[in-house]
A = this chain, B = another copy of it.
Amino acid sequence: MFQIDPLSRKPIYEQLIEQCEAFIQSGLLKEGDLIPSVRSLSMDLSVNPNTIQKAFADLSTRGIIRSVPGKGNVVCGNAAQIISDKNREKLDEFLSLLRLLAGSGIPREELIEYVNKAYQSHF
């Protein structure tokens, strides 16, 4: 389920967070679903347990998952909403990137095309 790219310059714990959020938004993980344990993820991905823990801690403080004693970490009820709200904050980043591309000779039609495609795969 989870995969990490050790070559990426993006921190491993961030990759885990983003993947988990993507799974929830896509419906692959739903409210109450059990998330793989720190230990199993650590072994499967060959990643330091501290790194997994760090990702889970972040998801936990943001109310996306919660630890159920004796069971493990499960997805919270309003997880999808919280994630959507957070993603909307990336609009500024999107806009500055957009201006960069617009000024670099990429045709407007191409970008419009990308936007349409991004929504087609979500209907």
Contacts of A108 in B (CB 8 A): 115-116, 119
Q: A61-B61, A68-B6, A69-B11 are in contact. Are A101 and B91 (CB under 8 A)?
A: yes
In whole Å, how far is A46's beta carbon from the nearest beta carbon of chain B?
A: 12
Number of chain A residues close to chain B: CB under 8 A: 44
Tell me the dominant secondary structure on chain A's binding face: helix
Q: Work out how many copies of this chain go into the complex.
A: 4
Further pairs besides A93-B97, A102-B118: 16, Cβ < 8 Å? A7-B66, A22-B103, A84-B103, A84-B104, A84-B105, A85-B104, A87-B104, A88-B104, A91-B101, A91-B106, A94-B101, A95-B114, A102-B119, A102-B122, A103-B122, A112-B115
